[in-house]
């Protein structure tokens, strides 16, 4: 049972990183980016390409982050920049429709380029694990991913609390109009925030790439991420970590008691119950 909980904990950190990019772009801009999962898979193909060039998957993360940030900035300028002056409700609706179309373009384009075959990044340490007390085993890749998740939330905390631009992001998320009156460039803040949200996909890109991926699975990972976002509270970038861990542990425990077929049902059931009992999520709706 304890081994199951440990695996759930590691999965939860993975879910949290996926949800982080979704929560950031929604918390700051009120954009719902359904294509985030497809962008993660696109990053996984980038990681596979760099692996063929001899670059270790974890060492490729900075390169993937830079590439995804540029891609995110381009996508924002081409597809999303026109929604800045719309009301919150319209921004959500328009971004949802545009990102749905973007998801289809990415998925079908990836299928044309790389076929629908399942691929995987396979360094020499794939499958390695180390043993703890009482025979508990932890996979090396899962532990590395969890440490990256902790480092990432610490870096984001320092970014939002210690840097001028980070504080401007918080201000824009709370009231864009008031932030603009205080001299903050809202359009630039939106651009960088969207690029950053896409860049955050680099870590789950590598972690998913080390498992298995294909062009059509992006929506499945987006579903995990949006469930975590809703559990945490829309726009709460810090709440995604405890929410992700909660989802991961509950899924693993359900597999232990009921079997693998009930894993997805458990996550959806918890999602529905939380929405009924806590409409604003388990941790409210804040970004600071």
Side-chain-facing half-sphere of 197: CA atoms under 13 Å: 33
At 208 the pLDDT is 94
Contact between residue 239 and residue 227 where contact means Cβ atoms under 8 Å apart: no
Collapsing DSSP to helix, strand or coil, 138 comes out as strand
What is the residue extent of each domain of the chain?
A: 2-277
DSSP string, 221-283: HHHHHHHHHHHH-TT-TTTHHHHHHHHHHHHHHHHHHH-GGGHHHHHHHHHHHHHHH-TT-TT
| Rounded Cα–Cα distance for residues 208 and 203 (Å) | 9
Scanning 85-217, the segments in alpha helix (DSSP H) are: 88-114, 140-162, 164-174, 176-181, 186-199, 202-209
- The per-residue pLDDT string of the chain (288 residues; one tens digit each, 9 = 90 and over) reads 777 888 888 889 999 999 999 988 888 888 889 999 999 999 999 999 999 999 999 999 999 999 999 999 999 999 998 888 888 888 889 999 999 999 999 999 999 999 989 999 999 888 888 777 767 788 888 889 889 988 988 888 888 888 888 888 888 887 888 888 888 888 888 999 999 999 999 999 999 999 999 998 999 999 899 889 888 887 678 888 888 998 988 888 887 777 777 777 887 888 788 878 887 777 755 444
| 15, 17, 139, 259 from 251: Cα distances, Å | 12, 17, 18, 10
| Rounded Cα–Cα distance for residues 167 and 229 (Å) | 22
At 210 the pLDDT is 93
At 128 the pLDDT is 85
Contact between residue 246 and residue 12 where contact means Cβ atoms under 8 Å apart: yes
Query: Structure tokens of 69?
Result: 């940030």
What is the dotted CATH code of the domain comprising 2-277?
1.10.3470
At 84 the pLDDT is 81
How many angstroms from the chain centroid is the CA of residue 113? 24
Element (H, E) at 41: helix 36-52
């Amino acid at each position: 049972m304890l081994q199951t909980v440990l695996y759930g904990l590691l999965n939860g950190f993975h879910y949290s990183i996926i949800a982080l990019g979704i929560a950031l772009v929604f918390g700051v801009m009120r954009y719902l980016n359904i294509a985030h999962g497809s962008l993660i898979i696109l990053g996984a193909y980038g990681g596979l390409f760099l692996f063929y060039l001899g670059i270790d998957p974890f060492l490729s993360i900075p390169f993937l982050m830079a590439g995804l940030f540029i891609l995110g900035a381009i996508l924002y300028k081409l597809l999303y920049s026109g929604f800045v002056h719309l009301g919150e409700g319209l921004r959500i609706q328009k971004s949802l429709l545009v990102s749905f179309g973007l998801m289809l373009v990415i998925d079908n384009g990836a299928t044309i380029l790389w076929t629908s075959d399942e691929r995987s990044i396979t360094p020499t340490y794939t499958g390695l694990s180390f043993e703890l007390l009482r025979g508990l085993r932890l996979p090396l890749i899962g532990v590395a991913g969890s440490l990256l998740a902790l480092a990432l939330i610490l870096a984001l905390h320092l970014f939002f609390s210690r840097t001028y631009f980070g504080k401007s992001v918080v201000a824009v998320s709370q009231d864009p109009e008031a932030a603009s009156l205080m001299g903050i460039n809202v359009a630039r803040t939106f651009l960088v925030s969207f690029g950053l949200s896409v860049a955050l996909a680099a870590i789950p890109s590598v972690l998913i790439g080390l498992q298995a991926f294909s062009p059509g699975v992006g929506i499945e990972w987006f579903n995990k991420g949006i469930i975590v976002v809703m559990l945490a509270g829309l726009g709460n970038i810090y709440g995604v970590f405890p929410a992700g861990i909660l989802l991961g542990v509950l899924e693993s425990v359900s597999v232990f008691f009921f079997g693998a077929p009930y894993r997805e049902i458990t996550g959806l059931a918890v999602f529905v119950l939380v929405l009924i009992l806590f409409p604003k999520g388990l941790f409210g709706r804040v970004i600071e």
